[in-house]
Amino acid sequence: MRLTPALGEIIPKRKSTRSYTGEALPAGQLEELRTRLGQLVPLFPDIPVKLEIVDASQVRCMQPWKTPHFITAATQDTPDAFINVGFVLQQMDLYLQSIGLGACWVGLGRPKSDVPKGLTHAILMPFGIAAEPVLRDSVEQFRRKSPEEIADAPDPRLECVRLAPSATNSQPWYIVHQGEWLHVYQVEQGPLKRMTLGKMNCIDMGIALCHLAVTCQGEFTLQRLEDAPAVEGYTYIGTVPAL
């Protein structure tokens, strides 16, 4: 697959917007964004994901933000489905910021209406006209792990992963090099973390993989290898053959 390379320019500047003017977007722009939702590229095409733009009155959200617009995401209740949601919806997060709108991932909330049968609510994304700068001034404004903490060897190609957003800034990813291959892992969670960050860290892994796909120089693929090396304290997610 190939994602829009221009979105990679947003990665070193993106941030979560938590202050909005409360002004609604024009109906025409909302329709354009709905069209964009339908053009997002899934990581796992066989897993259903339902994305909708809804009014704030249609969701319960514990955050006191004034934006009138939310994206709701529903999918199957499996780790791969949540990874897929992160991969798909991060494309929209980057796009919204590329056109000057604010956006943020929100786990503490859900739609008021029932999700389609066979699916479960995954995440909300409020978005709209920001009452604060949409982008960061420099990469130094990020609070992230060092490159040495997210990979077994230095690799400038992984800066996009290092800068990815994650639930409570938990940054659950780790990358192992094997020749030109990149093996991707997610930190294993204890019982408490599974209760609080279970699906969220799966979504985080999808976000990180989206960043890799956006910055990939060629076709992006994720494979599952039977002989991928084991890494203590981490769960194998998949292998990116080359960037």
DSSP state of 192: H
- What is the overall mean pLDDT for the chain? 94
Give the integer Cα–Cα distance in Å for 167 and 176: 22
What mean pLDDT comes out for the span 19-28?
A: 96
Q: What's the confidence (pLDDT) of residue 100?
A: 97
pLDDT digits (tens, 9 = 90+) for 74-100: 999 999 999 999 999 999 999 999 999
Q: How many CA atoms lie within 13 A of 180 on its CB side?
A: 3
Q: What's the confidence (pLDDT) of residue 53?
A: 98
Q: What's the confidence (pLDDT) of residue 111?
A: 95
Nearest to 90 by CA among 156, 157, 165, 174: 165
pLDDT digits (tens, 9 = 90+) for 147-180: 999 999 999 999 999 999 999 899 999 999 999 8
What mean pLDDT comes out for the span 119-139?
A: 96
Q: What's the confidence (pLDDT) of residue 24?
A: 97
Q: What's the confidence (pLDDT) of residue 65?
A: 77
Residue 207 pLDDT greater than 90, yes or no: yes
Give the integer Cα–Cα distance in Å for 175 and 220: 16
Termini Cα distance of the chain: 12
Nearest to 129 by CA among 106, 97, 105: 97
CA angle 95, 39, 212 (to 5 degrees): 55
**How many residues does this entry show for the chain?**
243
- Which residues in 185-204 are b (16+ Cβ under 10 Å) and which e? bbbebeeebeeebebbbbbb
Give the integer Cα–Cα distance in Å for 140 and 136: 9
Burial of 50 (0-12, 13-18, 19+ CB in 10 A): middle
Give the integer Cα–Cα distance in Å for 82 and 197: 12
Give the integer Cα–Cα distance in Å for 213 and 106: 23
**Domains of the chain, each with CATH number or no CATH:** 5-128 (3.40.109.10), 139-240 (3.40.109.30)
Q: How many CA atoms lie within 13 A of 77 on its CB side?
A: 7
